[in-house]
Structure 1
Amino acid sequence: MSAADVLETWQAELTQGRRRSPHTVRAYLAAASRLLASQNAADWARLARIDAPALRLHMARRRAEGIGNVSAARELSALKAFLAFARSKAGIADAAPPRLRGPRVKKGLPRPVTPDDAVNVADLVQANAAEDWIGARDRAVLLLMYGAGMRIAEALSLTAADLPLGERITITGKGGKQRVVPLIPVVRAAVEDYTRQCPWPLAGQTPLFRGAKGGQLSPGMVQKAMAQARAVLGLPASATPHALRHSFATHLLGAGADLRSLQELLGHASLGSTQIYTKVDAATLLDTYRNAHPREQD
């Protein structure tokens, strides 16, 4: 067995068995590849013998290369999952990975934008686009994130089969977990405006949001467009596409949404992930969101 065989099996487990996102699969494969190289281990039996001291030494080398606490914590988590899988493939009854505590990572508070800034960014992205249909496309993606709380990967995973959009849509999020998300009129109108202008055929399971050459739109293109608009509007660097999802959650919570409902809307596996929004300053919430989602009134 070669290292390529090991990685191919691990990739199949991540994509098919665990249904991880493409981003997670890339990160987990990269971490596993580095471990295989440093340990000169290219079969399940040798991987299964990697213990805590060996893993600690590997992570120390990674830290010496300059990775920070957040990256180190993520990589350690990826390697623990990989080694647990290796132990199971080696036929070891106890498939638990080596016990090694990662660095403490202080979880920062979400940094939402105001409702006006969220819509202004989407409108400016549309106005600045090289072509009208591209502007309509990017505006629709950003409003899906702000108006429906979607992750960018979730918005870009929509297909033509999801059309026409109704008052709600079923989204498949992290770990294959499905949730039903309501779509307010302004969001549906933005998507309809894009579909009317899109020069590419939209049918069946083809991607809903298309790149300039007709392929699936990449997250980087949306992020680039928002970065340009952010600079023009004088917004902080934290005003990324994902900040629109934070804004959706923060504004709804400030308007009286209960945590359990918000958890379902966001697709969080645990309530703890949703509770972080309660820590955002209440005065800011009151100032930025005085009613239920204001864009529903547009």
Structure 2
Amino acid sequence: MTERGLDAGRAYHLESYRDHLSFERGLSPRTIDGYLREARRLAEFVISRGADSPREVSYELLRDHVACLAEEGRAASSVARAVYALRGYFRFLVLEGVIETDPSERLQAPRAGRHLPDVLSVPEIEALLGAIPLDDRATRRDRSILELLYGCGLRVSELIDLRVRDVDLEEGLVRVRGKGSKERLVPVGAAARSAVRRYLRESRPELDRGDSEGRVFLNLRGRPLSRMGVWKILRRHVARAGIGKHVTPHTLRHSFATHLLEGGADLASVQEMLGHADISTTEIYTHVDRSHLRQVHRSHHPRG
């Protein structure tokens, strides 16, 4: 690290900020690195403009920094993430008493077009799940994986981290460890319960050779299944079902949320099941739902 970088780290309390992100907020190492990178870039920029401490950083300096990020060719979504990270950094400085007022309060992020997530229709979901035979231990495992991804809206990282003790089929619940080590309980529907129960009874005992670490889903060597393993399983069964769309594990999560909202579920409940910290993240699915409603209107209204 350069001497300038060391100076920025000391003057702008970046080590303390790292500890705050790790120990108090419990963020992942990748997220911490991203937040620290934005804070360090800001520190180096404002030091170059004569602000040797956070107390000397003004709203105008922050605005200039954000403008420079945009001029570097970063996408609007990337600049928006940087602004979000910087707001969190200055909230930390206020909490620590380093500064008294927050210069980032009026800082505006550029508006980025919202990308509507790809989803499968209900018939496509039925085709995908119905195309999986249940005649051996691998396919029984595969069916229960896809039933849980779609039936509970799990992230693939959450699925592969599931322990046997996290699954309560009698109560119809799974305990999920999401982002930032936050836990939540997610209901398991009848179809997913049936598939997982059969897998646990008939397939997993054959797969478990003592190296499972208590994980629910194992590969054919008896080790915990990896993210890539789940991707390969999904890709194989998407091809078998003849679905032409690009489908990822996250597509099943998007489909879960969209179909709940189309069925009349309230946004707050969907937010809780998805494990979103901010309901604005969940709100993107209301845009998908509106697209569905517009299509229904066009198809069925006399003057649609």
**For the residues of structure 2 that align with 1:211 and 1:60, how far apart are their CA atoms?**
49
**1:100 correspondence with 2:107:** yes
Could you tell me which residue of structure 2 aligns to residue 290 of structure 1?
none
**Shift in Å, 1:200:** 5.3
* Structure 1, unpaired ranges of 5+: 287-298
**1:188 correspondence with 2:193:** yes
Could you tell me which residue of structure 2 aligns to residue 146 of structure 1?
150
* Structure 2, unpaired ranges of 5+: 298-304
Instruction: Note if contact 1:85-1:95 (Cα within 8 Å) is conserved in structure 2.
Output: no
Q: TM-score, normalised by structure 1?
A: 0.69
Q: Which amino acid aligns with 1:169?
A: V
**Shift in Å, 1:280:** 3.0
Q: Matched residue of 2:175: which SS? A: strand
Q: Which amino acid aligns with 1:144?
A: L
Could you tell me which residue of structure 1 aligns to residue 70 of structure 2?
63
Q: Matched residue of 2:176: which SS? A: strand
**Shift in Å, 1:78:** 0.9
Could you tell me which residue of structure 1 aligns to residue 290 of structure 2?
279
Could you tell me which residue of structure 2 aligns to residue 35 of structure 1?
42
What is the total number of aligned residue pairs between the two structures?
Answer: 277
Could you tell me which residue of structure 2 aligns to residue 74 of structure 1?
81
Could you tell me which residue of structure 2 aligns to residue 248 of structure 1?
256
Instruction: Note if contact 2:207-2:220 (Cα within 8 Å) is conserved in structure 1.
Output: no
Instruction: Note if contact 1:48-1:83 (Cα within 8 Å) is conserved in structure 2.
Output: no
Say if 1:145 and 1:21 are closer, same or farther in 2 by CA, change over 3 A.
Answer: farther
Mapping 1:126-275, distance limit 5 Å: 133=138, 140-163=144-167, 165-166=169-170, 167-174=172-179, 178-192=183-197, 193=199, 195-199=204-208, 201=210, 206-209=214-217, 219=227, 221-223=229-231, 226=234, 233-237=242-246, 239-269=247-277, 273-274=282-283, 275=286
Mapping 1:37-52, distance limit 5 Å: 37-39=44-46, 46-52=53-59
Q: Deviations over 1:77-128 (max 9, x none)?
A: 012212332344353233563532110123233432023433555687x89x
Greater Rg, structure 1 or structure 2? Answer: 2
Q: Deviations over 1:54-78 (max 9, x none)?
A: 3333333333333211121112101
**Shift in Å, 1:254:** 2.6
Q: TM-score, normalised by structure 2?
A: 0.68
- Aligned-CA RMSD value: 4.2
Q: Which amino acid aligns with 2:73?
A: G
Larger CA deviation: 170-179 vs 82-91: 170-179
Instruction: Note if contact 1:80-1:98 (Cα within 8 Å) is conserved in structure 2.
Output: yes
Could you tell me which residue of structure 2 aligns to residue 113 of structure 1?
120
